Amino acid sequence: MDNTFIIDNLLRQNESESLEFKVSMTKDSIAKTVTVMLNTHGGDILVGVNDNKDIVGLKSQINASRLLNDLTYDIQPAAPIDIQSIVYQEKNLLLIRVWEGTQKPYSYKGIIYQREGQGSASGMNQLIADRKTADANWERMPVLSASMDDLDLEEVRKTMELYRQSTSRISADEESFLTETGLIQNGNLTNACIVLYAKNPMRFVVQSGIKLSVFSSESVSDLVDSQNYEGNVFKNVNAVFQYLDNLYYKVINIEGLFRTESWNYPKVAVREGIMNAIIHRDYNSYQGFLQINIHPNHLDVVNYGVMEPLRSVIGSKYLSYSFSLLRNPDIAYQCYYRQLIEMRGTGIPRMFSECKSHGYPVPSFSINGEVVKLTFFQLQLQSLSVKKDDFGFLLDKSFESLNEKVKQRMIAILSTIDKYPGLRTTTISANTGIPIKSVERHLSELSRVGMIRYQGSKKTGGYYLVNQNDDL
């Protein structure tokens, strides 16, 4: 993935406690600086750039994976650190991004490093206070009625495997891993652990679900489909994107011997927007909803819980790289290990970059009270590229004989799927007024002759028209 836009954004800023430019660094100096950032508010280190922001490049290539393994072994406790080698202006740079640690104090080879002075009393007191604050956060609160039996351990194991690849740490079992990463505190599962991994998280955190709605116009009264996702974070994300993929689906282009496929929506950008809402929503409030609203020409991601820094920079041209604080760092770290989010502070600029590169307008944020809305523009719902008047002609070609009543019902079904791709049987019935049993029978016949197809899982999938130019 092209991450040069991240370098562009960093070079617009000046050096600070959270951003350092270095011509070169030793592994030891990098480790000490990273430890300091973990013990403060996180930050970025860009190696290969001088104090004047001139791109000088690295004299020799640094093995980013080996450096990351060394840092995660020598820095305790475990913390998410991202290291990437990036070619920028034909020169090799090293970018190190560090989130603020939630398990302070952090040490490198047994020594705690701080900006206030190594081992100073005031600095240590502040680290201890920060740790107490983190432990008192909603994420770290114990769910006393929950146990390991309430967790989807297969999802935990998936994260463990990716965690090993990125850190070289090996936990003995699922409980050890959850303890090491702060999701078990004093022997109790935390709220964050439940939201991330519970089989039925809404039993414990009722506001953890996601609602998705599809509208036929700008009016919320014109609802044509609705989905409620009540699983853990990973199950919900998979289900949401299965639905979106089915709704917008792919464009297939064939030129000569070459076949290319592309999504009819900026999938990476939308993923960043939804993940941004997941890790920043206010789960502590019973109003802490997350809603995805799909209209004919745009998609809105709406969630309760505005981070104050975001409120202060809305409308600023610097929004794309100003906002990197985390409301729910434990949830964010696990999503990072699962490769659902990228480096610290890159979500918003990546959204902007991905939309621009695929020809979509830059998305916009708006705030109303404690509700933040992210809008992606020009996301067109797809339909069959034939006129509705042609449905009768296509039916006559596909069936030897149809009585007029059945023909008109099939035209109504095809027209409804054309207008609202991805609908399920019950919703088609509600929109057409045709009884469900009759709809099921007609859908079966239309599928048999290749005019429609069912995409997705039994629970979240739906029906789509088959473009007559599709390669079936």
The confidence score (pLDDT) of residue 455 equals: 87
Which residues make beta-bridge pairs with 294?
Answer: 214, 299
**Are 300 and 374 in contact, with CB atoms under 8 Å apart?**
yes
Does 471 have pLDDT greater than 50? no
Does 382 have pLDDT greater than 80? no
The confidence score (pLDDT) of residue 252 equals: 57
- Using one digit for the tens of pLDDT, what is the confidence trace for 231-240? 999 999 999 9
**Measured distance CA(117)–CA(124) in Å, rounded:** 10
Does 371 have pLDDT greater than 70? yes
- Using one digit for the tens of pLDDT, what is the confidence trace for 56-68? 998 877 788 888 8
Does 411 have pLDDT greater than 80? yes
The confidence score (pLDDT) of residue 316 equals: 56
The confidence score (pLDDT) of residue 306 equals: 76
**Are 289 and 211 in contact, with CB atoms under 8 Å apart?**
yes
State the distance between the two ends of the chain, measured CA to CA, in whole angstroms. Answer: 31
**Measured distance CA(409)–CA(389) in Å, rounded:** 14
The strand ranges marked E within 306-370 are 364-368
The confidence score (pLDDT) of residue 186 equals: 92
Residues 156-183, mean pLDDT to the nearest whole number: 88
- Structural element, H or E, at residue 455: strand 452-455
**Are 269 and 317 in contact, with CB atoms under 8 Å apart?**
no
Does 463 have pLDDT greater than 50? yes
- Using one digit for the tens of pLDDT, what is the confidence trace for 203-225? 999 999 999 999 988 888 888 88
- Mean pLDDT, the chain, integer: 84
Enter the pTM of the model. Answer: 0.73
| Residue 189 vs residue 460, higher pLDDT | 189
| Amino acid identity for residue 175 in this structure | E
Residues 320-330 as b/e (b if ≥16 CB within 10 A, e otherwise) read bbbbbbbbbbb
The confidence score (pLDDT) of residue 20 equals: 92
Does 386 have pLDDT greater than 50? no
**CA neighbor of 208 nearest in space, from 70, 331, 87:** 331
77, 81, 82, 111, 218 from 31: Cα distances, Å: 13, 11, 13, 11, 52
